[in-house]
A and B are shown apart, each in its own frame.
Chain A
Amino acid sequence: MGPLSFPAREDSKLEYSNPEIPEGINTSKTHPLKEFLWLTGGVMAAIFALVLILILFADVITSYIPFSVEQNITFSGVEASTEEGPLPEYLQSLADRIVRAEDLPEDMKITIHYLDDETVNAFATLGGHIFFFRGLLEKLPNENALAMLMAHEIAHIKHRHPIRSLGRGVIVGLALSVISTAAGDAIIESFLGKTGYLTILKYNRDMESQADETAIQALNSIYGHLGGADELFKILKEEAGRLEPPVFFSTHPLTENRLYEIKIHTEKHPAHDVTDITPLPQEFEKWVEEKEEEKTISL
């Protein structure tokens, strides 16, 4: 920089003008909604694809985990719940019949547990353990419905759904949390989480449908018909009431669709008359009732 001296010339001839600058040079003309649609659509598609790949990846990994590893994962309190008595024995004998019908591998041992709770539910978990809640057992009208329920849960074990869901959950959850941390915003975190979750739900529904399909085949081979099996879904439908969420947000396929599947199969293999439907043992209700007084199992 030169010395701080004044320029020699007078600036009277210097003109300062102020022309207008046209709009839109520093800004983009893209309509924000268009941008929004492209971005959300693109990112959601990418997340769906990513989660799909991760799910396949998780399935490959979990398929290398032998069933015996699952069995070694013990739950505290689980052993205590397999007591002697007519109900566990009856349930176990039914389970054994279904195991044969579904053609489970030799090493897959099914253990039935009974939970003294109002919840209208049943679930299968790691290591071939299946849990039935009193709330659901109480409502079952015949053996066919119970067998449908049990065959469905055993089918989950057969297709190794519990360990696969666990693997998927861990791998997809990890990947999404890494991405959302990198993106670093609370909004995106929930957006990614939701998109990923919806994708997982889709595959959950596929698992349920697969279990239903196997169960239907098993029931057919045991009883020769599917009469009475639909009672199970009628109970579940009643339980869900009118509050069943839209299919995209649901862990299970719509009960309507499940009933429809059964109906189609029943038409192929109809029960000849009502007597074809196997009743539950006479004391079944009593067994379930009696259980109430016994200890509850803590998991």
Chain B
Amino acid sequence: MIDLGVFLTLLALGYGFGRYAELKHYKSIIQREKELNILPAIAARTPPMISKACDCNLVTGNVVISVDYFKRFISVLRNIVGGRITSYETLIDRARREAILRMKQQAHEMGAKQVFNIKFETASIYKGKRQQVGSVEVLAYGTAIIPSQGG
């Protein structure tokens, strides 16, 4: 009985806070994506071959986003049934976009005009004896092309 109460409370907390955090995060992501839209992020390996000298700099952005109790519960049930784990789709989507935004922000502060050769690195972080802690890290990195001073 008490177990059930604890379980339902955790589930409700996870759902309430997790959903609030997610909606808030998406709002902020969409807004910042608009702001940084002036800075193209390009997955091409080579920058345009301009003969003008320019600076290159490695820029990175990373974020660790945690699952919540509700998402985790859904995912473990999905594990039995099989199929699309919708609760983790938004999690990883948020992490990727946030990482890109942080990388772009860094590039923007350097005065870059484009970011080239974008790569992602995704790692799941588990901790604890029974993997109680579950989260995902996304790192985005690329090369910021900064026009040389006076160029």
Contact = CB atoms under 8 A, between A and B. Distances in A.
Contacts of B37: 18, 20
B19 A187 contact: no
Given A26-B89, A32-B87, A245 B78 contact: no
B84 A28 contact: yes
B48 to A, nearest CB: 3
A23 interface: yes
A122 B46 CA distance: 83
Interface string A1-14: 00000110111101
B93 A40 contact: no
B57 interface: no
Interface string A176-192: 00010001111110110
Contacts of B1: 245, 249
Interface in B42-61: 42, 48-51
B133 to A, nearest CB: 12
A9 to B, nearest CB: 8
A42 B74 contact: no
A30 B86 contact: yes
B93 A26 contact: yes
A43 B70 contact: no
A157 to B, nearest CB: 31
A194 interface: yes
A65 interface: no
A187 B76 contact: yes
Contacts of A245: 1
Contacts of B149: none
B106 to A, nearest CB: 17
B73 interface: yes
Question: Interface SS of chain B: helix, strand, loop or mixed?
Answer: helix
Contact of A10 (B4, B19, B50, B114): B50
A39 B7 contact: no
B40 A28 contact: no
Given A6-B49, A11-B48, A183 B79 contact: yes
Interface in B103-143: 114, 130-132
A7 B4 CA distance: 67
Size bracket of the B interface: 35 or more
Nearest to A11: B48
B21 interface: no
Contact of A27 (B34, B69, B86): B86
A188 B77 contact: yes
B30 interface: yes
A11 B49 CA distance: 6
Nearest to A34: B86
Nearest to A39: B77
A28 B50 CA distance: 42
Contacts of A26: 89, 93
Given A30-B86, A39-B81, A186 B132 contact: yes
Given A16-B114, A194-B4, A185 B76 contact: yes
B48 A14 contact: yes
10 nearest interchain CB pairs? A11-B48, A28-B86, A39-B77, A16-B40, A188-B76, A185-B76, A18-B40, A186-B130, A27-B89, A27-B90
Interface of B: 1, 3-4, 7, 15, 19, 30, 33-34, 37-42, 48-51, 69-74, 76-81, 84, 86-87, 89-90, 93, 114, 130-132
Interface of A: 6-7, 9-12, 14, 16-18, 20, 23, 26-28, 30, 32-33, 35-36, 39-40, 42-43, 179, 183-188, 190-191, 194, 245, 249
Given A6-B49, A187-B69, 7 more contacts: A16-B40, A18-B38, A35-B86, A39-B81, A43-B77, A185-B131, A190-B3
